[in-house]
Amino acid sequence: MLGRGMLKGLWVTLQHTISSFTSGPRRFPKRYLDGPVPRPEPSTQGMLTLQYPFEKYEMWPRFRGVLVHLRDPETGQSRCTACMACVRACPHGVLTVTGEGKGRERRAKTYTYELGRCIFCRLCVESCRFDAIEMGQEYEFVSTTQDQTLNLEEMLALGDRSGIKHTGEAWGQVE
Amino acid sequence: MGFLDALPLTVMDWLRGLLGQGLPAWGVELVVGLIKVVLILVVAILPVIVLTWLERKVLARGQDRFGPNLAGPYGLVVAFADAIKILTKEDIIPQAADRQVFRFAPALVLIPTLLVFTVVPMGRGMIAADLNVGILFAVAIGSLAVIAIIAATWSSGNKYSLLSMFRSVAQLVSYELPMAFSVLTVVLVSGGLSTVRIVEAQVIPFALVMPIAAVTYFLASLAEANRSPFDLLLGESEIVAGHNLEYSGMRFAMFYIGEYAHIFVIGALTTTLFLGGYQGPILPGYMWFLIKTMAVVYVVLWIRCTWPRMRIDQLLDFSWKLLVPLNLANLMLVALVFKLAGTGLLGSLLSLVVNVGLLVAVGTFLVRRARSSTSRRTRALVLGEV
Amino acid sequence: MAKAIFILVSLVTLVSAIGVVALPKVLHAALALVFALIGVGALYALLGAGYLAVVQVMIYVGAISVLIILAIMVSQRSMEDSQLQAFVPHRAVTAVVAGLLFVVLAGVSIGAAWPVVETAVPPDTIARLGEAFAGRYLLPFEVASVVLLVSLVGAVYVAREP
């Protein structure tokens, strides 16, 4: 009453102004936080704004990012056998795979992944029976053309970076 | 008067002596006058550069954000980025516009704001023109802003601009009155219209002697500068940003500069009238002036980041039904107090007591009336019932 | 120096004053009026009457001009580019009357014996003005304010919804 609300409002903004300097993840005068930023609790005080291109949140384990290949620790190669299950499962025809070798020796020779058309549905991963592919944590693959692609080596490197060992780990599908 | 305090004056005197060797007396005066003009322009425009940055930062911090932090360290050069952006914009004159007035209006917006700086004492003896009608001059020049807004809005040929103008005129005319009353209170106590005299009269800052007048002056000058919460002529949601709606490029920048320079004017005049101007211990006078002014400017920005915009009827009610009667009563009481008790410490103390008493009395009266009232609007306004 | 400023200010005032009469658009004329009034204020200031100059600006420019402009805007057809045609049908009569008026005014102002005050203008005119208003001329001052009050009440009465 009688402007008490207005004064209270001023007090609130003043508190926020002060707490943006004194508490929260940016208590210290540093422009950007290093590494992936943990998601703040709802009760956290201070400045929480994510400075996006320079800072990124940690993605959750089941995040469906760019498709990656997993490395077989014994051979150091992808476990893909070019069985074409993923190619058949893909609703958009994003994947193109060629193989070489016969029977148990069969391995993927090329594995092309068209980023621009992928809808991140994870059906390819569901269909894979060889523990070879998984959705990774990366998501900044904007392309200006429809046919920007990743090849096998790039996808293996991304798999190394995401740290996933087996398909379906985060989904509770690995015993 | 220490060395640092008088440094600008010493430099000026030295320059005057230097010029006197080669120029006749009127030539010296001309050059010195030109230097003063340039200095005033600098004092008026430099804060604009700072304030565009400061306003964004203060608003952002109040809302747990960063504000600009990419252009230079801490986003400090954001004003220059703005300037470059605005200068490269296309200069559009609408077909329905009154071309001559449309071109002329932006200049008119800036002039009154710049003129006010001539009577602001920025340090001991540092004033461009110590008029004996100083503060009245500032008030009169402030009323010129209406003309600029009328010219700009009418010539735009846009009905939203025109709506904005009607709001603005109602607002400026209403708030000139409480402002004049609060200034009158100050003049009464200091015994002169000269700004230097007003500053010298403040052994105790007038904000402590008569808080009602100080707060009224501050709020009224917010209204005159069209700042939040009285910025309803800029109502983006209703009238698409009002009076500068049709302007673009450099012409828009003039409005922009005028607005920010006006914030600094609010700070400077409030400091001069109520916060003791350049007076203060240890630091030189101009530093004190700057510190106090920036403190007031911060409050202006702080209010911007807190209070919502007022409605036009609330705005007019606030001026005519609260500020004007309150300040009339305050004027009479303060006059009485200082006539009876003198302008010394006793008078100041009594004046403060009278001010607080008046506020309490008016508050109690309003609350009593609102409690017994059945009008939902009154109850909501005074008691805060929803 | 003072003479140069005087010539400059009078030039601005005169040009604006001619503009008030001659400009075809009403609003342009009103804006020219603003400048003429400011010019007159500057002339007062040059004569050492600072208080009068400031009051001139405050009242005539800040209040009365705004009223005039608002009145123009809310009156009919002013937003259109209508040319002012008031004097056109009676151009000859107008010229004769205006000419006669000019001759009379010029004659009076040239022939008048302007009193020259030898003493300089006292520096503290405002205080003396205030004392005069609160002392010797209290009654006229109060009468003027009562007249204003009456007109205010009258305006409210007229504007009130029946």
Please classify residue A169 by burial: count the beta carbons closer than 10 Å to its beta carbon, then call 0-12 exposed, 13-18 middle and 19+ buried.
middle
Task: Please write the tens of the pLDDT for every residue from A153-175.
Answer: 888 888 888 777 777 777 777 65
The residue ranking higher by pLDDT, C18 or A24, is C18
Rg (CA), chain A: 23
Cβ-defined contact of C123 to B132 (cutoff 8 Å): yes
What residues in A contact B381, CB-CB < 8 Å?
none
Residues in C whose CB is inside 8 Å of some CB of B read 1, 25, 27-28, 31, 34, 50-51, 53-55, 57-58, 61-63, 65-66, 69-70, 73, 123-124, 126
Residue C85: per-residue pLDDT: 57
Residue C143: per-residue pLDDT: 92
Q: A78: which DSSP letter?
A: B
Contacting residues for B89 by C-beta, under 8 A, at least 6 apart: B248, B249, B250, B252
Q: Which of B58, B54, B261 is nearest to B145 (CA)?
A: B261
What residues in A contact B68, CB-CB < 8 Å?
none
| Residue of B61, B66, B303 to mutate for A, most A C-beta atoms under 10 A | B61
Q: What is the DSSP string of B75-144?
A: GTTHHHHHHHHHHTS-----TTS-HHHHHHHHHHHHHHHHHHGGG---BTTB-S---TTHHHHHHHHHTT
Nearest CA in chain C to B172: C62
Residue C146: per-residue pLDDT: 93
Do residues A61 and A170 make contact, with C-beta atoms less than 8 angstroms apart? Answer: yes
Its CATH class, for the domain covering C2-95+122-159, is mainly alpha
Instruction: Please give the helix or strand (H or E) that residue B41 lies within, else none.
Output: helix B25-62
Domain boundaries, chain C: 2-95+122-159
CA distance B174 to chain A (A): 20
Nearest CA in chain C to B174: C63
| Residue of A7, A10, A44, A48 to mutate for B, most B C-beta atoms under 10 A | A10
Say how many CB pairs under 8 Å bridge A and B.
51
Distance CA B289, CA B8 (A): 14
Rg (CA), chain C: 20
Q: Quick one: what percent of chain C has pLDDT higher than 90?
A: 12
| Residue of C3, C5, C73 to mutate for B, most B C-beta atoms under 10 A | C73
Q: Rounded mean pLDDT of A87-97?
A: 89
Cβ-defined contact of C28 to B140 (cutoff 8 Å): no
Instruction: Give me the numbers of helices (H) and strands (E) for chain B, helices first please.
Output: 17, 0
Residue C82: per-residue pLDDT: 53
Contacting residues for A126 by C-beta, under 8 A, at least 6 apart: A89
Touching C: which chains, 3+ CB pairs < 8 A? B
Say how many CB pairs under 8 Å bridge B and C.
63
Contacting residues for A38 by C-beta, under 8 A, at least 6 apart: A57, A58
Nearest CB to A2 within list B58, B63, B382: B382
What residues in B contact A49, CB-CB < 8 Å?
64-66
Compute the residue count for chain A: 175
Q: Quick one: what percent of chain A has pLDDT higher than 70?
A: 92
Question: Across chain C, what does the average pLDDT equal?
Answer: 81
Q: Quick one: what percent of chain A has pLDDT higher than 90?
A: 1
Residues in B whose CB is inside 8 Å of some CB of A read 58, 61-66, 69, 302-303, 305-307, 363, 366-367, 382-384
pLDDT in tens, chain B (386 residues): 567 767 777 777 777 777 777 777 777 777 878 888 888 888 878 888 888 888 888 888 888 888 887 777 777 888 888 888 888 888 888 887 778 888 888 888 888 888 888 888 887 777 777 777 788 888 888 878 888 888 888 888 788 888 888 888 888 888 888 888 888 888 888 877 888 888 888 877 887 788 888 888 998 888 888 887 888 777 777 777 777 788 888 888 888 888 888 888 888 888 888 888 787 777 777 888 888 888 999 998 888 888 888 878 778 888 888 888 888 888 888 888 877 777 677 777 777 888 888 888 888 887 787 777 777 777 776 666 65
CA distance B385 to chain A (A): 8
Res. A30: pLDDT tops 70: no
Locate C128 and state its tokens: 């003396």
CA distance C121 to chain B (A): 13
Nearest CB to B193 within list C27, C123, C126: C126
Nearest CA in chain C to B193: C126
Touching A: which chains, 3+ CB pairs < 8 A? B
Cβ-defined contact of B306 to A9 (cutoff 8 Å): yes
Do residues B239 and B197 make contact, with C-beta atoms less than 8 angstroms apart? Answer: no
Q: A107: which DSSP letter?
A: E
A2 close contact with B: CB closer than 8 A: yes
Res. A104: pLDDT tops 60: yes
Cβ-defined contact of C58 to B154 (cutoff 8 Å): no
Distance CA A17, CA C127 (A): 48
